[in-house]
Amino acid sequence: MIEQNWSQVEAPSNIAILKYWGKKDGGQFPMNPSISFTLEKCKTKMNYKWNKRHDLQIEIVELNFEKKSNIHFQNKLNEKLKKLVSHKIFPFGVNLYIDSENTFPHSAGIASSASSMACVAKILGEIYQLEEMSEISSLARELSGSAGRSIANGWMWWGKCAVIEESSDHYAKSINKEIHPDYLSLQDWIFVCSDHEKSTSSSEGHELMQHHPYKAARQKVAFERAEMFFKMLNCSLDKKFFELLELECLDLHSLMMTSSPSIILLRPESLKLMHTIRSLRAEGINCGFTIDAGSTIHLIFPKEELHRITECERIGRLGEMGKDYKCIIKDRCKL
Ligand code: PMV
């Protein structure tokens, strides 16, 4: 018997300025702290209903994605839920029926794992009546690391680090109160550079960090950057932020390229845009790029530059749609 009517949850996607790359202690714990902000337009919405089971399993018995049954996603999620119940005790088991949809095109090259796993964690939070955001973030993290940072809006910090009080490897925490207003209205124009399937998943990428020759150096640098970013985010925005932003994502891609096996995810279109963005900054436009584990370029700039960036797009300085990129999603930080 289904005990409830359909309910709805939603969660935003997020973009990290300091990247989570590599796990520690054999679990879903980060090798280094990460910092991100959530997006306004790129979200996942899930309608769900559930009933109690006689055992302690949590199982999705029906999953529709964009109105079509999606067995692959359902099986993947059930595997994750099985792992979760093997080391977390829930008072009862549930059968779940989920209808999921994203507000962004699904071939857009934007990872939906953060927003979708955050939705699943929110569903479990509602069913088991969890009140603390940290508990829901911790569930989301177990399903997909970066999802722990998609539980609340705005700037989130995940990972134990001396600079942030009560920071934890178990859950992400909001740092909105510590952020200068300049960073609260950051814009993120997402340039989808390729519709090629990614050759390597982030789980495989995290795994490759275990024996990476630069593992210790990466950890040291990431902790130093956590402190540098945190100081910057407290003060008004300047060019140095974009320099650090770019260095950080270039480190991520360098680590991927120098892992064994080596992974190259950037496309010629991505590189072209990276050069363009640097020229715009050299001309005095406050902007920079960041990139996740893919070829999609995130052009980041403050709201004050919206006019100039829009003009650059209009005159073709950012390239031509269809030739230099597949589409642009004009998003921004959501508080
Ligand atoms: O949450 P995962 O396991 O998909 O890893 C995300 C890794 C990056 O997107 C590359 C960086 C990050 O911190 O979001």
Per-residue pLDDT, averaged over 319-332, amounts to 95
Q: Is 218 in the pocket of ligand 1 (CB under 6 A)?
A: no
Q: Over the stretch 8-17, which tens digit does the pLDDT of each residue have?
A: 999 999 999 9
pLDDT band at 45; cut points 50, 70, 90: very high
The pTM for the full model equals: 0.96
> Is the Cβ atom of 34 under 6 angstroms away from ligand 1?
yes
Q: Are strands 327-332 and 297-301 parallel, antiparallel or unpaired?
A: unpaired
- Choose the residue to mutate in 143, 202, 206, 225 for probing ligand 1, maximizing ligand atoms within 8 Å of C-beta: 202
**pLDDT for position 59:** 98
Residue 104 has pLDDT above 80, yes or no: yes
Tell whether ligand 1 has an atom less than 6 A from the beta carbon of residue 20: yes
Q: Is the CB of 292 under 6 A from ligand 1?
A: yes
> How many angstroms is it from 153 CA to the middle of ligand 1?
17
What spacing in Å lies between the alpha carbon of 16 and ligand 1's midpoint?
A: 8
Residues 6+ apart with CB under 8 A from 124: 58, 90, 130, 136, 139
Strand extents, DSSP E, the chain: 7-18, 23-24, 29-30, 34-52, 58-65, 68-69, 94-102, 155-158, 172-174, 187-192, 288-290, 297-301, 327-332
Q: Does ligand 1 have an atom closer than 6 angstroms to the CB of 295? A: no
The 10s digit of each residue's pLDDT in 107-124 is 666 778 999 999 999 999
Query: Is it the case that residue 228 has pLDDT exceeding 60?
Result: yes
Which band of pLDDT confidence, cut at 50, 70 and 90, is reported for residue 106? low
pLDDT at residue number 329: 95
- Positive or negative, the Cα torsion across 21, 25, 27, 28? negative
pLDDT above 60 (res 147): yes
> Given this model, what pLDDT does residue 107 score?
60
Return d(Cα 270, Cα 289) in angstroms, integer.
Answer: 10
> What's the average model confidence in pLDDT over 156-161?
98
Q: How many CB atoms lie within 10 A of CB 266?
A: 19
Name residues whose C-beta falls within 8 Å of residue 47's C-beta, 6 or more positions apart in sequence: 6, 7, 8, 98, 99
Residue 26: the pLDDT is 84
For residue 92, the CA-to-ligand 1 centroid distance in Å is 31
Going from the Cα of 253 to the center of ligand 1, the distance in angstroms, rounded, reads 12
C-alpha of residue 120 to centroid of ligand 1, in Å: 17
Number of alpha carbons in the 13 Å side-chain half-sphere of residue 184: 12
Above 70 in pLDDT, residue 137?
Answer: yes
d(CA 314, ligand 1 centre) in Å: 32
Question: Ligand 1: does its nearest atom lie under 6 Å from the Cβ of 58?
Answer: no
How far from each other are the two terminal CA atoms of the chain, in whole angstroms?
39
Give yes or no for residue 144 CB within 6 A of ligand 1: yes
